[in-house]
Amino acid sequence: MAAGRVVESRGLVVIGQLGALGIVLALPLIDLLNILTWPGAGSVVPMTVCTALCLALLAAIVWPAVSGRRIPAAGRLLAAMAVLMVLATLWVGRFWLYEYAALGLALLLVLPRPWSWTLFLLVGATALTLAWVLDFESDVAAVLALYAFKGLAPLLLIRYVTTIRSLQTTAQALAVDARARERIRAAEDLRATVQTDLTRILVLAETATTHQQFRDITSTSRSSLARTRRLIAQYRQGSLSSDVDAAARLLQAAGIRVSIENPASGDESLRDELKRAVEGILSTPGVTACTISFARGRLHVEVSP
């Protein structure tokens, strides 16, 4: 697969965020449309008002959760959701039992385990009990199935998005760590070179007695300065070869097997493309191996799960 075709995790995260929020908001709306067309559903006002309030509370909980942020006033939102379930059941009646999944999902997102799952099951049991009490026995199975689906399906999508974001954060941390290690290596190389040259100059200075020896010291000092400047220039400018080595180390640190093919045939102009390719590989979930090859002045990247 070409480097430009590597899937970017940022796009996956955005799609996942919008998809999770869309599913969470769409399911109650679908229920509302179905129930309003149900024979004997009664007035549309109670169901519409309660659904609107439920959607507002759900959006306030789900969007921060799927965005990887702390849910503001999570306890108050959860309490408001619980109160809404009770009042809506009294006002709307048995048809509101289908929306108890909203409270179940909110519990799973706000509370830590095992409390979240314990209360999730308790709310589901409450919905089933109310179905019997409100003479809704014929739809007990439907209430149970919809409660599980509407509570768990969005949760799985939200967990998927958070996993992708975690992988992206880890990849960025690895990239920062690799750059830091490269700077340390460069600093150590430069220190060793300067130390060797200064030691040589010091030895020459201690034993110098003739004009020629002092000229040798001057020549050695100039050579050392020129060598130090070249090293600094190389570290600042870098090269495709050094970038390939750094990319291999970075990918291996991320647990990805790397194969480099024909690096000598690459062109210096490919350095930016190589960096983008490595970022794409690290951002793509599930990659365990990759091949980076250079041919005819072009860069090719193949990844495999």
Across the range 100-120, mean pLDDT stands at 90
- Res. 285 pLDDT band, cuts 50 70 90: confident
The closest of 78, 127, 56 to 98, measured between CA atoms, is 127
* pTM for this model (two decimals): 0.57
Q: What pLDDT shows up at residue 76?
A: 92
Give CA–CA dist 249/267, Å, rounded. 20
For residue 2, pLDDT over 60 is answered with: no
- Name the residue type at position 105: L
Q: What pLDDT shows up at residue 5?
A: 36
Domain 239-305 grouped into CATH 3.30.565.10: yes
Residues 285 and 166: beta-carbon distance below 8 Å:
no
pLDDT digits (tens, 9 = 90+) for 150-186: 888 888 888 888 877 777 777 767 766 766 676 667 6
Least reliable range by pLDDT among 28-32, 115-119, 287-291 = 28-32
CA angle 77, 81, 83 (to 5 degrees): 115
- How many helices (H) does the chain have, and how many strands (E)? 9, 3
